[in-house]
Amino acid sequence: MLRLLQIELQKLLENRISKILIFFSFILPFFIILLSSFKINFFGLFTIDLGSVGIFDFPYIWHITTFFAALFKLFFAIVVVSMIGNEYSNKTIKQNLIDGLSKKEFILSKFYALLFFSVISTLLVGILTLAIGLYYNGDSEAYYMFSESIFLLAYFVKLIGFFSLCLFAAVLIKRSAFALAFLFILFIVEWIIYGIILKNYDDDIATKIHNYFPLKSMWKLIDEPFRRIVAMKSPEKTELIYDYAVHWQEIGIVAVWTTIFIYCSFKLLQKRDL
């Protein structure tokens, strides 16, 4: 495992564009989250203080930070599809196989890299979330502080699932730009199918089926926190309450899709004449 991971990391870190994209995918979300936790005065005209709203209080902060950090996964998605696209364009995949790397090991090296960066990203989000949360309410009890830390697990599973889909798209199509276009087309197709189901069944059934689709299931892992923020400011408006919790069934669905994408990537590569 370490040998395969080392091979892949060496390839990524030797590529200037990959290093820039990795930097932005890791640093930008943390910079924005950290910046938003401070009071910002705009030329004495007005002050933005999101902390006063309570969104950085435990346990809400786990939901807030993981949701917004996950939005930046598109930066690393470009790195993922480029990993495969560059292998084909530079013909390094053939060289790797000639040097003794099996097709299974080739796919595993990519997956281990995705796993590595997902773990690093999750740890950084966890540390930053804990630091900001302690800054705003350091006297919280440990149980209360970590009561919603399951959002970190959801964040990790979401990254792995999405990056595995990107890997499959890249292996399927070979070209980076078209692989990214495939993801957009998949998003549209999912909503078209949802619309067709909605015409024949009620909204509850259509939504439940939609939640099993790849992209929607990944999105559903961490629901948008905006209604929760509004409810925090206006707790008397009970109609704003919704199910924002992370459910094990949702984690399981994304885990199954992740397995399918990695397996299909290997099978495609195995049957393809390189």
pLDDT exceeds cutoff 60 at 51: no
Q: What is the mean pLDDT of the chain?
A: 82
40-42 and 46-48 strand pairing: antiparallel
Looking at residue 202, its amino acid is D
Q: Select the more confidently predicted residue: 14 or 146.
A: 146
Give residue-wise pLDDT tens across range 7-35: 777 777 777 777 777 777 777 777 766 66
Q: Select the more confidently predicted residue: 146 or 155.
A: 155
- Distance, CA of 214 to CA of 189 (rounded, Å): 11
Tell me which residue of 132, 106, 104 sits closest to 31, measured CA to CA.
132
Task: Note the pLDDT of residue 188.
Answer: 96
Task: Note the pLDDT of residue 5.
Answer: 79
pLDDT exceeds cutoff 60 at 178: yes
**pTM given for the model:** 0.87
Task: Note the pLDDT of residue 156.
Answer: 96
Q: How many CB atoms lie within 10 A of CB 108?
A: 19
pLDDT exceeds cutoff 70 at 239: no
Give residue-wise pLDDT tens across range 67-102: 988 888 887 888 888 877 777 777 777 777 777 778
Average pLDDT over residues 100-108: 83
Q: For residue 57, with 0-12 CB atoms within 10 Å meaning exposed, 13-18 middle and 19 or more buried, which class applies?
A: middle
Task: Note the pLDDT of residue 46.
Answer: 45
- Distance, CA of 144 to CA of 142 (rounded, Å): 5
Average pLDDT over residues 241-264: 92
pLDDT exceeds cutoff 60 at 49: no
Q: Select the more confidently predicted residue: 219 or 51.
A: 219
Average pLDDT over residues 150-162: 95
